[in-house]
Amino acid sequence: MMHLTTPIADEDLNCLNVGDQITISGTIYTGRDAALPQLVELVKNDEVPFDLNGAVIMHTAFSDAGIAPTTSSKVEIESTIPALSKAGVKVHIGKGMLSDDTINSLNEYNSIFVITPPVAALLTSKVLEKKCVLFENEGMEAMFELKVEKIPGIVAIQDGKKI
């Protein structure tokens, strides 16, 4: 099992293969249907209040019940993956299948897609700290910055290959 710590560098991804089990520690950001399209608009206007270079975004909401991945292939989420990868996001964590166009954009920007099982109790136990960083009006679908320790996942898409 390979352990990654944020921020993620291109070199960190070069030794990974589809099917590898990984853990991620450090700072990750959450976002889903309501927040990610708004984040892309901030990217376009160069108004993101934190650094996306080497960032990790998990497709989830954050509530008192915890975190668990949402379906990444929803148009509101999948349509943001190319722009966020171009802006520097290296790892997108979610669940489900992605289109060939999205797979190609991940490859173009040396980003990967990691799946993690929807086990809220396990994932939530890995969260050390949380704070809302954007779109507080979206409630649990706002963007949160999480400090995490060893979020587990499996590389599902890398170098244009998929599970």
pLDDT in tens, 23-52: 999 999 999 999 999 999 999 999 999 999
Number of H helices, E strands in the chain: 6, 8
Question: 7: pLDDT confidence band, cut at 50, 70 and 90?
Answer: very high
Percent of the chain exceeding pLDDT 70 equals 100
Instruction: Write down the pLDDT at residue 43.
Output: 98
Q: What is the pLDDT of residue 65?
A: 79
C-beta of residue 132 within 8 angstroms of C-beta of residue 142 = yes
| pTM score | 0.92
Give the span between the Cα atoms of 99 and 137, in whole angstroms. 31
What percentage of the chain exceeds 90 in pLDDT? Answer: 90
pLDDT in tens, 110-121: 999 999 877 888
Residue that has been written with the tokens 């910055």 in this structure: 145
- Averaged over 129-158, what is the pLDDT? 96
